[in-house]
Every structure is written in structure tokens, then in C-alpha cells.
Amino acid sequence: MKGIVFTELLEMVEQQFDYTLVDKLLTDSPLPSGGSYTAVGTYDHREINVLVEELSRQTGVPIPDLFRAYGRYLFGRFTQVYKPLIENVHSAFDLMASVEQHIHVEVQKLYPEAELPHFDITRLGPGHMIMIYQSERKMGDFAHGLLEGCLAHFGETATITKTVLDADGSSVQFEVIKQ
């Protein structure tokens, strides 16, 4: 998993709480990498779950909520870090629709080693879309948060109905209906 996901998580924790919690997480969690993350590095994806699990213990916030919140936060960071990628997109729906065909294609070019989830996207109308998330990382909540972050970025309001299609969380359906 790309280093930015780790660095931004720790940044978000530091902003929401303080570095003490960050230190606690890093110290208390069994992390093979030792916890000295850099954005350009690449780390075992299981370490994110370890970190989020520890954070949940420390804060008492359930893990799904933490992932969902981190998704919202990270999309904001993306708009700044990867500005050129979304510059020419003018609506949340367009962006969401182009995730698989455009965003992930470009990401793959930059980071050939990156492992990216797969989205099946069906546009049922101008404000109605069904996205099916599929990934062995089982990070549906994180994706939920990213979608919410996206709507927020474009200032759009929509109801996102999440339906778990596979019990292990490797396949999740999101129905987005613009309001």
C-alpha cells in the first residue's frame, strides 16, 4: 500500500487529536515497518488495519466509522495532491463514473506496483448510479468515505445507500442518488 495512505492517516490523527496518540499507535502496534512511513514508500497493507484497529481501541470509535471518516479526509487531501487529475472534472458523478476508466489508469501509470480496487459502474440516469466495489482489501467503508468526500468537494448532495454483497466485505454495492 502506498505510503501516502499511512502518512495521511497519521496526519489526520495528529490533527484531530495530537501527536501523543500518533506515537501511542505507532509504539503499541506491531508494525513490521517500524512505523517510519514516507509518502513515496510502499508498505504492507495489513499495517493500516492494525493502526485503525489500535486507534479504535484508543478512541472508542468503531473501526468502520474510522475508515469512513479517513475516506472523507483523504479525498480532500487528494484534491490538493493530485489536482491535475481532477481539474477537468466538473461534477461528482462524472468523477465517480471515471474512477475505474480514468483515475485508476493514471494511478497505475504513476505507481506501477499499486494494487487498486475494482469498481463496476452503472449509470441509471443523470443523478442515479450504482457502483459495485470489489477488493480483497475489503475496505468498503473507506470507499464510502471517499465517495462522501467527493460529493462534498463538488458541493453536491446525494444519498449513498451501501449494500454489502459479499459477507466478507470483498464486494459492496453503493447506490448513489442525487438529491
Partner 1 sequence: MSDIDVLKRRFLREKQGRLEAESILEKKALELYVANEQLRQLNENLESEIRKKLAELRESEQRYRGLIESVQDVIYKISPTGIFTFVSPAAEKLMGYTEADVLGRHFNQFVQPGYRESLRDFYLDMLIRRQDSTYHEFPALTKNGGEVWIGQTVRLMTDYEGHILELVAVARDITDRKRAEEALMTTQARLSTLITNLQSGVLVEDEHRNVILVNKLFCDLFAITAAPQSLIGQDCSAVAEDAKHLFVDPADFTQRVAQLLASRELEVGERLYMMDGRVLERDYIPIYLGNQYMGHLWRYSDVTERFNSREQLRRSEEKYRGILNNLELGVLEIDNDQNIVHAYEEFCNMVGYSQEELVGRNVQEILLPTEFHPVISQQQKMRNEGQAGSYELQIIKKDSSRLWALISGASIIDEHGVVTGSIGIHYNITERKLLEQELALAKQIADDARQAEKQFLANMSHEIRTPLNAIIGMSHLLFDTRPTRQQMEFIEVLKTSADFLHSLISDLLDMTKIEAGRIEMHPRPFHLAGLLRATQRVFQMKLENRPIEMDVMIDARITGDFIGDDVMLNQILLNLVGNAEKFTEKGCIQLTAKIKKQENDQCWIEFQVADTGIGIPDDKLGIVFQKFKQINPQGHKHKGTGLGLAITKELVEIQGGTISVKSREGEGSVFTFMLSYAQSVQSTDPAESAENRPVSDAILAQCNILVVEDNLMNQKYVSNLLNKWNITYTLASDGKKAVEEAKKQAFDLILMDIQMPIMDGYQAAVAIRSTHNPNQHVPIVALTASAMPDHKSTALTVGMNDFLTKPFEPKQLFAVLQQYAVPRKMFPVAESERPPANALDRQQLSNIYNGDSEYAMDMFTTFLTDIVPEFAVLAEKVSDQDWPTVARLAHKLKPTLGMVGLTNMQTMLRRVEEMTDSSPAGPQTNSQALQLLYVDFEQELSRMLPLVTEELHRISQE
Positions in the binding site for partner 1 (CB under 8 A):
19-20, 22-23, 26-27, 34-41
Closer to partner 1 at the Cβ: 107 or 132?
107
Among 121, 133, 130, smallest CA distance to 158 is for 130
Residue 41 or 76 with smaller CB distance to partner 1: 41
Backbone angles phi, psi at 149, to 5 degrees: -65, -40
Q: 39 vs 124, which CB is nearer to partner 1? A: 39
Assess contact for 6 and 51: CB atoms under 8 A: yes
- Supply the minimum distance, in Å, between the C-beta of residue 113 and partner 1: 12
Cβ proximity to partner 1, 36 vs 88, nearer residue: 36
The bridge status of strand 128-134 relative to strand 118-125 is antiparallel
Cβ atoms of 160 and 139 within 8 Å: the answer is no
Closest distance of CB 95 from partner 1, Å: 29
CB of 150 to partner 1, least distance (A): 29
Query: Residue 178 and residue 156: Cα distance in Å, rounded?
Result: 8
Least Å distance, CB 129 to partner 1, is: 35
Q: Shortest gap between Cβ of 38 and partner 1 (angstroms)?
A: 4
CB 110 within 8 A of CB 81: no
Comparing CB distances to partner 1, the nearer of 26 and 143 is 26
